[in-house]
Amino acid sequence: MKTGIHPNYTEINVTCSCGNAFKTGSTMGKDLHIEVCAACHPFYTGKQKMVDTAGRVEKFRQKYGAFKR
């Protein structure tokens, strides 16, 4: 590797909005604050949030009328 052309690779602290914190390596050089991590993301936790699609469809039909074929 050539010297003097690569950014410094340092250890930084990553903090999630759920309160989870961990350390990782980065060339960013400063601490990072994120909104979603593996500890709180529904894909990794297995706790999917159910979306009330039936309510949304019903609201749409009430607002714009029932769809007739």
Annotated binding site for Zn(2+): 16, 18, 37, 40
Binding-site annotation, residues: 16, 18, 37, 40
* DSSP secondary structure string for all residues of the chain: --TTSSPP-EEEEEEETTS-EEEEEESS-S-EEES--TTT-HHHH--PPPP-HHHHHHHHHHHH-----
